[in-house]
Amino acid sequence: MVKPLETEVLIIGGGINGTAIARELSKYKIDVTLVEKEVDVSFGISKGSNGQVYTGLEMALSLALKKVAGTVSEEMEKAKERICDQGYRLWEQMFHELEIPYRVVGLMVIATNAEEFQKLNAMHKQYAKNYGLKILGKEEILSIEPNVTQEAIAGLYEPGHMMVHNPFDAVIALAENAKDNGIRILLNCEVSAITKGKGFQTVETSNGRIKTRFIVNASGRYVDKIAAMAGPCGFGFQCFKGHLLITDKNVGGIVNNVITTPPLPGIAKVVQPTVDGNLRLGTLYEETKDRFDHRTILSGMNEVMERARSLVPSLSPRDIITYFTGTRMFSNRDAAEYIIESPKENPKFISVGPGMPGFTPAPAIAKIVVERLENEGLQLVERRDFNPYRKNITRFSSLSNPQKADLIRREASYGHVLCRCEHVTEAEVVESIRRGATTLDGIKFRTRAGMGRCQGGFCGPQVVEILARELNIPVTHVTKRGGKSRLLLYQTKELLKTHRRNRDDAAC
Amino acid sequence: MQHVDVAVIGAGPAGLAAAVKARASGVKKVVVIERTKYPGGLLEQCIHNGFGLHYFKEDLTGPEYAARFVEKARDLNVDMRLDSMVLNISGDRRISFVNKRDGLVTLTAGAIVLAMGCRERTGPSIMLAGTRPAGIFTAGTAQRYINIEGFIPGKEIVILGSGDVGMIMAKRLSLEDVEVKAVVEILPYVGGLIRNEVQCIHDFEIPLMLGHTVTEIHGRDRVEAVTVAKVDKNRQPIVGTMKRIKCDTLLLSVGLIPENELSRMAGVKLDSTSGGPIVDETMQTSVPGIFAGGNVVHVHDLVDHVTEEAEAAGASAAKYIMGKLKSGIRKLNLKAGENIKYVIPHTITGEKEVILYARVKEPAMKVRVKVGNIFNKPLRVVRPSEMLKIHLSPRELEKGRDGLTELVVSCVGKEQQNKKINIS
Amino acid sequence: MAGNECKQGRSYILQEFKLSMRILTATVQTEGCSRPTLSVKSSKPLPKSMLRRCMLILSEVKAKPGLHMGDVLIKNIFDTGVDIVCTKEL
């Protein structure tokens, strides 16, 4: 019988919360294991996040939006603001330490009709004194954002309180740094049962049994399902599905700030510049009973497109290079609540629920969780050799010509550009595999290969070949994102030979 | 910094033709920069025949057609840089490219010929809804996997789009014993050549669903099915006509777009209808010394035309560096008139004979192709998938001497033909 | 025959009527070579009905390096007088 893996803290889930908590715990001398069901971190609910870390006016807007969606108590609202404020400050530090690409942008809230103008005024009255904002007229709006709609009658502009990034960049960076500092990460590892013993808990996974003292359940879409394995689960969620459209970089520069309108029931409109120079258009949030439903719907995409055009009229469907959906979950007890909860019978099992925003508060939530664990008896002894720094994969496309020349001289595979849209080199793809990517999506998230306007049409065959070579697997085993998502099912002649053999067999 | 006389971007049929022509015209240093391992461009994966019927008067396969030019290029000592990606082109004709062997190279060119060809439109460009599983490919990428890498995407395939690439893949896959469950086409007629409709679809008894489109993709990790619906005259899906087709692969053959990133970088003005640079009859773009030919200017149906157009670009590039490229005194703008989508080139001088390429918007029968008042030719049949080649002779151009600033190219006729044209 | 513009078209139509003949183009697998496939074609058109049988034969062929364009891989396939030749260098 195989001995169970023994660890002190088991984190279930490799999304933003799981990896942030892992990195926080890696500062101490503790044996920590993180298990992730998918083939890679960030592959769950985290990768569909908006990629915004924010405070200030956007936070106020976000709270207003929650009120539209569900009940929000003042106590929860204040708690949320505190956690997010702390999160924002921690992110400012972490973006640098972990070399996560990000970009600071401002927020421009515009009103294009009477109803929106009313809301804008109300917002101004409520938040202006905190943020020193004044209502701008059309001229002023257009001088800051010349490509915004001519229908804009008034606006509120707050520079520099939003950091936009790619959600998977952050999760991957946290995981790499945590791993670098001693955290054990097990991928393709799905939890199926949890039993409480004396002084420890036993977790059954697809990779075998794990014995642990503490469990942090940060399993995103599965958080209530996993919680129910460890005791009665007292929380639940309201789920929304949002459509996100990404534009070509050619139009990325037409706005410099996040453009939105005051939240009205059922209407959220956002045009957001991304760190890479695209625009993200969103979001149509529709309540859904199925949190696993990630299908895009034509009417949803058309709606998002129309809303985006009402803000920035020069945008057109021709500018769209890809789209996907994201799941938004928040507590059905209180839309502003961040769930950090244990069942009475098992205080060493802590569930951390997804919320909205999901990324902004994550580092603060991680600290709260570690504090809770300490209260429950976890010894926190600081590691003197904790390394807070993590280097990202060198992005060839962002280097100057002399830097590029030098890099190729040192490593020739930087001279082989295989993604023509994003200028990603073979060296970067190989490096991403060395850092844990085993799938096309994993490589895509770490290098951007396949994220350009041709969506992998040119680089696909080359990336597939490199994956097969580096992992020493047949090309037919290469997957898009693990599991059953194999890309190429047969070798040529395989079908002909099989059918011939079948015919010959049948003939006998 | 290195200097070359003529730099050609791309070693596909256009690039090879331009380079060979430039060398043959006396240019000393011609370099071709190609991003893949082998010259020949897309011809390398077009292993079917039908190439060269006009240019060589032979029926060749893609690789055989390419080989003729590769050989000529080798004989003429064209400097071929393979596995090299151009990162930047500036308006003053400075090019930066990289490869493993030479590292980062910057060179200046006396003239540049853009011959980057075209790329395929993707699923998002047609707002294809549903899930994002593995098993969705553009037809050209699938062609590369089968014909170059040696892999078949799946065994039950639906093809969206009846352009030539889609139809050719239908045949290729059927020959490999893949079940092609349907070729779905949103228009009421086939998008490619009739020859392909016969040899690729009818030969293999593949269901051809005209006036239909794929509205949704199903399957979480891998494609499991697609939903197909009939469309109305506005090309919108008709509710209640949805049909689910079980399949493990979806191939998209929904259009080609000229590659214009480098053109943009160089400051070349583009035409949004043809998709590529605005060119005059010498194939010079809006930037002096930068020429273009082939699919990068507009998407062709026949590689023979690509060759001719690129040769013109190569010849002009040669003349340019020798100081012999005369800009005409007059400039006649060519405009797309009735039932014409676009005309290449965009301007002519009217001082010498010229070949115009044009595409119609809708199929039609018993039409007259007109160029202003100077050209008028009856044609029995025109189709969007078959480019018009209009030869304006010196005599015809004489007619248009006085006071003209533009010529409208149009295709007028009584009967509009929307149904399949029967060969009977 | 409405709409035909081309002499080849006429003989093509007549040929279609009598016996549909097609040039077969395909790939074969390679052995001992960095390129996994080699493109081939039939030297002359074959009857449409024979194409599948030819594909089955081709599925067993393994091309070795050193082949030139035009080299014969299979001579006189199924006694038709038609050869299968290489269309690329290996």
Residues A379-400 have a mean pLDDT of: 97
Residues A331-339 have a mean pLDDT of: 92
Are A153 and A106 found together in one domain? yes
Interface of C with B in 25-64 (CB under 8 A): 25-27, 29, 35-37, 39-41, 48, 51-52, 55
pLDDT at B419 over 70: no
In a domain, C15, yes or no: no
Candidate from B35, B150, B221 with C-beta closest to A420: B35
Interface of A with C in 315-344 (CB under 8 A): none
CATH code at position C46: 3.10.530.10
Number of domains into which chain A is organized: 3
Are A309 and A243 found together in one domain? yes
In a domain, B374, yes or no: yes
Number of domains into which chain C is organized: 1
Are B262 and B248 found together in one domain? no
In a domain, A343, yes or no: yes
In a domain, B327, yes or no: no
Q: Are B314 and B322 in contact (CB under 8 A)?
A: no
Binary contact (A492, B146; C-beta < 8 A): yes
Using DSSP, state whether B376 is helix, strand or coil. Answer: strand
CATH code at position A174: 3.50.50.60
As given in the structure block, the two tokens for residue A334 are 């209180």
Per residue in B102-126, pLDDT tens? 999 999 999 999 999 999 999 888 8
In Å, how far is C48's CA from the nearest CA of chain B? 8
Are A147 and A249 found together in one domain? yes
Closest residue on chain C to B198 (Cα): C16
Per residue in A390-438, pLDDT tens? 999 999 999 999 999 999 999 999 999 999 999 999 999 999 999 999 9
As given in the structure block, the two tokens for residue A489 are 């099912």
In a domain, A85, yes or no: no
In a domain, C77, yes or no: yes
To the question of pTM greater than 0.90 for the whole model, the response is yes
Neighbours of B195 (CB within 10 A): 13
CATH code at position A158: 3.30.9.10
Give yes or no for B233 touching C (CB within 8 A). no
Neighbours of B209 (CB within 10 A): 22
A21: nearest Cα among A11, A33, A31: A11
Neighbours of A120 (CB within 10 A): 21
In Å, how far is A450's CA from the nearest CA of chain C? 24
Phi-psi category of residue B127: left, alpha or beta, with phi > 0 → left and psi -120 to 50 → alpha: left
Residues B352-378 have a mean pLDDT of: 94
* CA gap A197, A195 in Å, rounded: 6
pLDDT at B424 over 50: no
Domain residues for A462?
A: 396-477
pLDDT, averaged across chain B: 94
B44 phi/psi in degrees, rounded to 5: -60, -30
CA–CA–CA angle B173, B177, B183 (5° rounding): 45
CA-based R_g, chain B, Å? 22
Are B30 and B88 found together in one domain? yes
In a domain, C45, yes or no: yes
* Predicted local confidence at residue A98, as pLDDT: 98
Per residue in B276-293, pLDDT tens? 999 999 999 999 999 999
Are A232 and A244 found together in one domain? no
Q: Are A466 and B149 in contact (CB under 8 A)?
A: no
Give yes or no for C72 touching B (CB within 8 A). no
Binary contact (A492, C29; C-beta < 8 A): yes
- Please tell me what DSSP assigns to residue A348: T
Q: Are A410 and A463 in contact (CB under 8 A)?
A: no
In a domain, C50, yes or no: yes
Neighbours of chain A (3+ CB pairs under 8 A): B, C
Neighbours of A19 (CB within 10 A): 32
- Please tell me what DSSP assigns to residue B110: E
* Predicted local confidence at residue C2, as pLDDT: 44
Neighbours of chain B (3+ CB pairs under 8 A): A, C
* Predicted local confidence at residue C61, as pLDDT: 94
Domain residues for C78?
A: 21-86
Give yes or no for A423 touching B (CB within 8 A). yes
CATH code at position B388: 2.60.40
* CA gap A110, A307 in Å, rounded: 13
In a domain, B418, yes or no: no
Helices A426-434 and A440-447: angle between axes, nearest 10 degrees? 110
As given in the structure block, the two tokens for residue A186 are 């097990």
Domain residues for B196?
A: 122-254
Residues A324-329 have a mean pLDDT of: 94
Give yes or no for A493 touching C (CB within 8 A). yes
In a domain, A67, yes or no: no
CA distances from B350 to A365, A464, B277 (A): 74, 52, 20
In a domain, C4, yes or no: no
In a domain, B48, yes or no: yes
In a domain, C38, yes or no: yes
* CA gap A215, A33 in Å, rounded: 10
Are A340 and A428 found together in one domain? no
* CA gap A41, A172 in Å, rounded: 7
Are A243 and A159 found together in one domain? yes
Binary contact (A481, B221; C-beta < 8 A): yes
Residues B387-403 have a mean pLDDT of: 85
Are B31 and B114 found together in one domain? yes
Number of domains into which chain B is organized: 3
Are B212 and B293 found together in one domain? no
Are B113 and B196 found together in one domain? no
All residues of chain C having their beta carbon less than 8 Å from the beta carbon of residue B43 are none
Are B128 and B229 found together in one domain? yes
In a domain, C8, yes or no: no
CATH code at position B308: 3.50.50.60
In a domain, B326, yes or no: no
Q: Are A349 and A226 in contact (CB under 8 A)?
A: no
In a domain, A507, yes or no: no
Are B126 and B250 found together in one domain? yes
Are B67 and B216 found together in one domain? no
Binary contact (B122, A457; C-beta < 8 A): yes
Q: Scanning the structure block, which residue is given the tokens 């629920």? A: A353
In a domain, C13, yes or no: no
- Exposure of A75 by Cβ count < 10 A (0-12 exposed, 13-18 middle, 19+ buried)? exposed
Q: Scanning the structure block, which residue is given the tokens 């993707």? A: B122
Closest residue on chain A to C36 (Cα): A492
Give yes or no for C60 touching A (CB within 8 A). yes
Lowest mean pLDDT among A62-71, A498-507, B22-31, C9-18: C9-18
ipTM: 0.94
Are A294 and A271 found together in one domain? yes
Are B247 and B160 found together in one domain? yes
Are B164 and B227 found together in one domain? yes
Are A159 and A253 found together in one domain? yes
In a domain, B421, yes or no: no
Are A284 and A197 found together in one domain? no
